[in-house]
Amino acid sequence: MATAIVKKKMMKKMKVLALAVVCFFAVASVAQAQTKIGYLNIQNMVAVMPEAAKIDSIMDKFRVDTIGAERNRIEEEFTYKDSILKQDDSLKKIGGKIMPESVRKQHEKDVQELYMTLAQWRQVVEEWEQGKQQQLVGPIYQKVLTAIQAVAKEKGYTHVMDESSFIVKPDGDNIIKLVADKLKVTLPPQLLPGYKPTAPAIR
């Protein structure tokens, strides 16, 4: 009698466990069905946009017309104000008429600031170039992101990640071609999903 009761309890536990396992796989299946992950290399997509081709020439012009012109202006101002201070020093030695103290202090301050700017010019240029790059690239990224969102909605993707986030990734979930089509941009063959370079012929 006791053995029968124990068996009955064990059977009940096994049914509960089996039901739990079934429920687990059912929930996992539903979650899998509801989650659809796509990916693409966003940087590559931005690089093939028509607007991106103009960035290099715009940056070259920016370096000459803006950065170069500003460098020349600062050098000229530094040379001019430094020469005024040196002239004032010479007049002071011979007892000539010198500039008011407040004016001299302002010139000294200006010269010091201009000197520091020239000394740190490389850093100044990097900051200006980064700001200009962001100004030019930002709208292109926004355009690509808008197309990604549209493709994800049309194709039922719940998540779209950058390709660099994945170690294993099926070619079928690479949506770069879909995004390119949405943007009416032609991709080079090497960016197409599943592309494999042709092996050189062995002679």
pLDDT range class, residue 142, cuts 50, 70, 90: very high
Tens digits of per-residue pLDDT, 145-170? 999 999 999 999 999 999 888 888 77
**Secondary structure class of 174 (helix, strand, coil):** strand
Residue 15, token pair as written in the block = 């049914």
Cβ pair 193, 71 in contact under 8 A: no
More confident residue, 38 or 167: 38
> What is the enclosing helix (H) or strand (E) of 173?
none
Polymer length in residues for the chain? 203
Question: How many whole angstroms separate alpha carbon 9 and alpha carbon 5?
Answer: 6
Does position 174 have pLDDT exceeding 60, yes or no? yes
Q: How far is CA 136 from CA 54, 81, 93, in A?
A: 9, 36, 55
Cβ pair 183, 49 in contact under 8 A: yes
- For the segment 174-180, the average pLDDT, to the nearest whole number, is 93
Tens digits of per-residue pLDDT, 78-133? 999 889 888 877 777 766 667 788 888 888 899 999 999 999 999 999 999 999 99
pLDDT range class, residue 172, cuts 50, 70, 90: confident
Does position 72 have pLDDT exceeding 80, yes or no? yes
Question: How many whole angstroms separate alpha carbon 92 and alpha carbon 104?
Answer: 12
pTM of the model: 0.65
